[in-house]
Amino acid sequence: AQSVTQLGSHVSVSEGALVLLRCNYSSSVPPYLFWYVQYPNQGLQLLLKYTSAATLVKGINGFEAEFKKSETSFHLTKPSAHMSDAAEYFCAASLGDSGAGSYQLTFGKGTKLSVIP
Amino acid sequence: DVKVTQSSRYLVKRTGEKVFLECVQDMDHENMFWYRQDPGLGLRLIYFSYDVKMKEKGDIPEGYSVSREKKERFSLILESASTNQTSMYLCASSLEWRGTEAFFGQGTRLTVV
């Protein structure tokens, strides 16, 4: 089955430390991949997306992600965590390969990031 | 900027009531989606629509229906609300292209008592 898996429902980092949020996908066709962020009681906001143009994708707020086909991964990183990065992060993939209406996103279960002062 | 607007941020309804959640997008997107979000379960797709009057069941359609009479508006209907439908509901829209992202509304936190 096609799926998106995020390893770790909660991640804590110290302010200024590296942020690494993991995402793996399972798909029989080349996927399009996305990372979203959600602040408390808000909707989801796109951080970045991979659409096969480049394997290293830069997004907003200093985040970036690297697509690794051999590892079926799309991990999200940020060199130095800031207090304002505390939020929930969702990895998503467009896994459908054909047909009208097949372009919905499949989401991982989310990773809540805490930043410790 | 794309704007997806959900009619209510917070709703409290009684068990058995018929509940309407409204969503409007202003970017002429073909696709519209309804998700529910619960702690530890992530986002689960309830229904989506890829054209006016077209609808497809998602992963958890039981207890819900939808309506899309106009391209910009997608309504989620709880025919008879139950306490297990207490959740955050998120509406989203996107272009009809596989590599496009979905744009989300602010969410409606529904409590059924």
pLDDT on residue A100: 53
Mean pLDDT for the stretch of residues A78-88:
97
Using a CB-CB cut-off of 8 Å, the residues of chain B touching A104 are: 31, 33, 45, 48, 58
A42 touching B (Cβ < 8 Å): yes
- The strand pairing partners of B45, in sequence order, are B35
Which strand (E) or helix (H) includes residue B112? strand B108-112
> Quick check: B99 and A46 CB within 8 A?
no
pLDDT on residue A27: 79
More confident residue, A27 or A4: A4
| DSSP SS3 for A78 | strand
Determine whether B16 is exposed, middle or buried from the number of CB atoms within 10 Å of its CB (0-12, 13-18, 19+). Answer: exposed
Question: What is d(CA B43, CA A74) in angstroms, rounded to the nearest whole number?
Answer: 19
pLDDT on residue B18: 97
Which among B29, B24, B110, B71 has a CA at the least distance from the CA of A104?
A: B29
| B94 Cβ contact list (under 8 Å, min separation 6) | A103, B29, B30, B31, B33, B100, B101, B102, B103
* Backbone phi and psi for residue A38, each to the nearest 5 degrees, phi listed first: -130, 120
pLDDT per residue as tens digits for the range B56-111: 999 899 999 999 999 999 999 999 999 999 999 999 999 877 778 899 999 999 99
Fill in the amino acid letter for A72: T
- The maximal CA–CA distance of chain A, rounded, in angstroms, is 48
pLDDT at A105 over 90: no
Q: What is the CA angle A53-A94-A91, rounded to 5?
A: 90
pLDDT at B16 over 80: yes
Fill in the amino acid letter for B42: G
> Quick check: B96 and A45 CB within 8 A?
no
Mean pLDDT for the stretch of residues A10-39:
92
* Backbone phi and psi for residue A55, each to the nearest 5 degrees, phi listed first: -75, -25
pLDDT on residue A103: 65
Yes or no: say if A69 and A52 are a contact pair by the CB < 8 Å rule. no
pLDDT at A41 over 90: no
pLDDT at A99 over 80: no
pLDDT on residue A52: 78
Q: Nearest by CB to B99, from A42, A94, A102: name it.
A: A94
pLDDT at A17 over 70: yes
Q: What share of chain A has pLDDT > 70, as a percent? A: 91
Yes or no: say if A9 and B40 are a contact pair by the CB < 8 Å rule. yes
pLDDT on residue A1: 61
A45 touching B (Cβ < 8 Å): yes
What is the DSSP secondary-structure string of B18-37?
Answer: -EEEEEEESS--SEEEEEEE
pLDDT on residue A97: 57
d(CA A25, nearest CA chain B) in Å = 15
pLDDT per residue as tens digits for the range B39-67: 888 899 999 998 898 899 998 999 999 99
B10 touching A (Cβ < 8 Å): no
> Quick check: A96 and B41 CB within 8 A?
no
Confidence of residue A62 (pLDDT cuts 50, 70, 90): very high
pLDDT at B1 over 80: no
pLDDT at A102 over 70: no
